[in-house]
Structure 1
């Protein structure tokens, strides 16, 4: 347990950030699943629209430090690759 006032504040801040990061990660996972489901159902328009929704979310999470920027880049690349593979 923190004894200094500043340490207590840091503890509160880290808990707030942790909750926010967990929520952001959950949102990203949901959006990625929607892309994968659209690809599995072979729905071209839905998969492209879902990808357009997930790319900004991944980029924003990377900028905010929720996920690593290379992790975001890798996810975007793999999702795009899957969509391009089933379109051709």
Structure 2
């Protein structure tokens, strides 16, 4: 347990930041799952409409990853690596 006032305050800040970081990471995971699910459907149907849906989902994933980088939840190189791997799947 924290002994001083500053440690008590610091632990509150840590809990708040952990909650926000988890929120952004979960949003990224959900967006990636939605993108991968749309890729799976596109492979089965192979229509232009499904391909456009995949591209829209990819842009959503990019947006959520960029927001996480802006909030310093993810490092910019980690975000770049994730985006690159996701883009290679669609190619």
TM-score band w.r.t. shorter chain: 0.7 to 0.9
The aligned residue for residue 30 of structure 1 is: 30
Counterpart check, 1:21 vs 2:21: yes
Please list every run of 5 or more consecutive structure 1 residues that lacks an aligned counterpart in the other structure: none
Distance 1:12 1:82 in 2: 40
Q: How big is the alpha-carbon RMSD for the aligned residues of Structure 1 and Structure 2?
A: 1.1
TM-score, normalised to structure 1's length? 0.88
Please list every run of 5 or more consecutive structure 2 residues that lacks an aligned counterpart in the other structure: 43-49
Distance 1:52 1:65 in 2: 20
TM-score, normalised to structure 2's length? 0.85
The partner residue of 1:64 within 71, 74, 80 is 71
Distance 2:35 2:82 in 1: 11
* More deviation, 42-51/57-66: 57-66
Question: Secondary structure at the residue paired with 1:65?
Answer: coil
Number of aligned positions between the proteins: 84
Structure 1 runs (4+) deviating above 2 angstroms are none
The aligned residue for residue 11 of structure 2 is: 11
Distance 2:63 2:30 in 1: 14
